[in-house]
Each structure stands twice: as C-alpha cells, then as structure tokens.
Chain A
C-alpha cells in the first residue's frame, strides 16, 4: 500500500491558522495529509504536545506561528522557537529524524506559503517513510 504520511500541524490562532484559512477560502490545492490543530499562540505548544503526536503515530509534526516580532502576545513565537530548537536536539538523541519536526512562520496573508509548505513538508516525510516510533514503543522483552 502506498505510504500516506500523517502530519500534525499546530497553528497559532492569529497568523498561521488564518493563513491556512486563507489558503482554503482561496481554494488553493494542497496535500490533505495535515491535521491542523489550532492554538491561541505558538507559545502554547508544549514539548509534550509534540512528543505525544509522535507517540500516537504522527510521521511529521509542523509548528507554525506568527513571524518574529508579529506575535499577538509579543513573544510567544520566540518561546516556540526555543522549545523547537531544544526539542530538535532531544528527538534526534531518541532516534527521530530532525526533518520530521519543522517550524515555519506563516502570517495571516500567506495562504500560498502555507499551501507550499504543506506540500513540501508532505514530500519530505513521504521520502523519509513512516516514523518507526510506534513499532519501537511496543514493549519488547
């Protein structure tokens, strides 16, 4: 069977989700592999959310927030950036490829950029193949 990656995208309410909405209302075509989760701010994305997404079978996780300096809550996106960089280091240590976790800034007007991002990220994950985490998490003795 053809591999269809499962991607979880955490989008902030003010920029990225609106950007994704714009892509939708403008009828832009993009890959349907992304499950979008709206949060009030990218600063709300806890490392637990990302790890849980992987454990529950996500092949890739996408984090999107407002461009630096544009955060609705001033510095939530910087918080997200720092967590992202720290998580990158941790997941690689645990054997998850760095490419599976991606952070991009998407503003409310960047519908096209969001569509392109989803397409390119889906392609990257398709090339990487399924994340082996589910297999490994079965208790082996």
Chain B
C-alpha cells in the first residue's frame, strides 16, 4: 500500500508456560485491529499455523519484536530461545515465567529424577506396571524418534540468552503491554536495554488501596480463608501473608481489588535482588513476639516458606534450586 508506514514484524512464543501470557496478548480485544494495523504477526504458535522451520528460514534480526513467554525447562525451549534471539531485534521476556522462572520454577525444589519418578510411577492416578519413562531418543524400526530433553534445572529466559526488556506479570497487564507496544510502533525513545517495562518502580504497598497503619503487629498468620476479611484493612495487618512489601507495583492491584493478597508475580522492586529474602525480612519485622518459642509458633503458620516467598522467582533467587 502506498503511503502507509511499514509494519513491524511481531512474534509471540511460549516455552514452559501455561498459555495465559498468549491469552493476555489476545486480551487487547478490539485494539487487536490497531495492533494488526501496525504489526505483522510472523510467528505465534497459539494463533497461527507457522512452523519452527519458518523461523529458521528467516534472516537474522528479521523479527522486530518477539514476546517470549515461559521458562526454559527442556531442550526445545532452549533451542527456541536461542533461535528467536538470533532472529529478533528486540527480545522481550514477557510474563513472570520468562522473567523469573515463574510457577514452573518451583520444580527446582526437586531433581529431574524425583519429578519423573513422581509423575510416571508414584502418582495416585498413574498405572504404569512396566515403569515406562520418557527417554529423549527411542529406536523404532523406521528409525530413531526423539523428544526434547527434560532438564534438571528450570531457568529464566535471561539465564539462557540476552534479553532486551522484561514485562513482568502472571500474566502481564494487557494495558501495560499496549503502552509499551505503542512506544515501539510510534518510535518513542525506549528505556535502556535490560529494563523492566510495563511496571512501576514502587512497591505494591506504596500504591495499595487498602488502609494501613504503620503499626503492624502480628501474633498469628492466617490463610486467606481462615479470616473474615473486612475488605478495607491491609492484609498483613489482618495477619494474612501478602507479598506486597517485596513486589513491584504496576499490575493495577488486580488481586487486592479482588480481595486476595498479593502473590508477588510482578517480581521484586528495583534494587532488591532476591524478592523472597526481602519478604522474609519484612515478615520477620511484623511478628510481635520476643521469645524464640513464641516466634517459632508464629512462623509455624507459614507452612511452605520457599513456596510462598519464592512462588514465582526461585530460578533467579540466590539459592535457585534445592541443594542435593
């Protein structure tokens, strides 16, 4: 078409992900027409019938922006991460799994062998008397068939390839993605490489809509269903564990507004390298006990510290996997 601006080429890929990030891109709703007007979707497994081969045949830096969601869990994920890195001018770690490892990253609490054992032998719903387990390569009479190699460690995208931008969230807030996308298509100045975009620099607590006093004193922690939430008071002050103090704002408080405590999917605020450690520090500060036995009684309520404090961030945390 004459006189129209050249479209940018957009790719979306999922690695070890649930699909929610791809859906969050679809959540642009009628703005999708604006997106399509400005961008050609060249690769998007959830929506388009494009093959890996098509990507392999693209020249380097052919794709302008790739939204990569999902963690790196197996050799296929790693291959696609490296391939898309080579083919993309801007590679965006889109969503918590690509950003920090996300929920799949909790698998780092176990080894590959433990996971395969649980899934293929021990799980209550499994009937597998021959003890068949997946192997990367298997010989049949037609030749060798192969499946991706299942890794021992789950990694975030930036632990495998260089990443230009990070858009956090499980899934990212669609409006924030549109803002970033608009910046790209209008040619606005982009933040420095390696920035977290589509999020704020403050913590959740600083922007929280709930009422808080500075006097947090907790003698017992509750699971959300154990208390009658008044819908107004800070969750932590009510004794409900909320990741707000150690989580970046920018999500629009979707959980808080839905009367659920923050789970921490937006990751740590700038400057905090280890979100769980920051949260442990905050939690320890609000416990209102001085005797070790009493403190332990309060801590007892935190059934799974690693799972709670590092729900989304285990692969990028300091102790990024369970020690064998």
Contact = CB atoms under 8 A, between A and B. Distances in A.
Interface of A: 46-48, 51-52, 54-55, 68, 78-79, 81-83, 85-87, 89-91, 93-96, 131-133, 136-137, 139-141
User: What does DSSP make chain A's interface, helix, strand, loop or mixed?
Assistant: helix
A139 B153 contact: yes
Interface in B259-279: 273-274, 276-278
B319 A86 contact: no
Contact of A94 (B153, B287, B322): B322
B306 A94 contact: yes
A133 B299 contact: no
Nearest to B293: A85
Given A94-B323, A133-B323, A141-B153, A83 B305 contact: no
Nearest to A90: B305
A12 B152 CA distance: 40
A55 B320 CA distance: 10
B280 A90 contact: yes
A95 B309 contact: no
10 contacts: A46-B281, A47-B277, A51-B319, A52-B318, A89-B299, A90-B306, A132-B323, A136-B323, A136-B324, A141-B149
B283 interface: yes
A132 B273 contact: no
Contact of B290 (A47, A51, A78): A78
B284 interface: yes
Interface string B285-322: 10101101001100100101110010000000011111
Given A47-B280, A48-B278, A55-B318, A93 B306 contact: yes
A46 B323 contact: no
B187 to A, nearest CB: 38
A64 to B, nearest CB: 16
B282 to A, nearest CB: 10
A79 B318 contact: no
Contacts of A136: 321-324
Interface string B40-83: 00000000000000000000000000000000000100100000
A111 to B, nearest CB: 25
A137 B321 CA distance: 7
A10 B139 CA distance: 57
Contacts of A85: 284, 292, 295-296, 299
Nearest to B78: A141
Contact of B152 (A86, A89, A132, A141): A141
Contacts of B276: 47, 90
A68 B290 CA distance: 9
B159 A139 contact: yes
Contacts of B296: 85
B180 interface: no
A94 B277 contact: no
Contacts of A86: 280, 283-284, 299, 302, 305
Most chain B CB atoms below 10 A, which of A90, A96, A139 = A90
B319 A133 contact: yes
Contacts of A131: 323
Across the A-B interface, give the 3 residue pairs with the lowest CB-CB distance, nearest first.
Answer: A95-B323, A82-B284, A47-B277
B99 interface: no
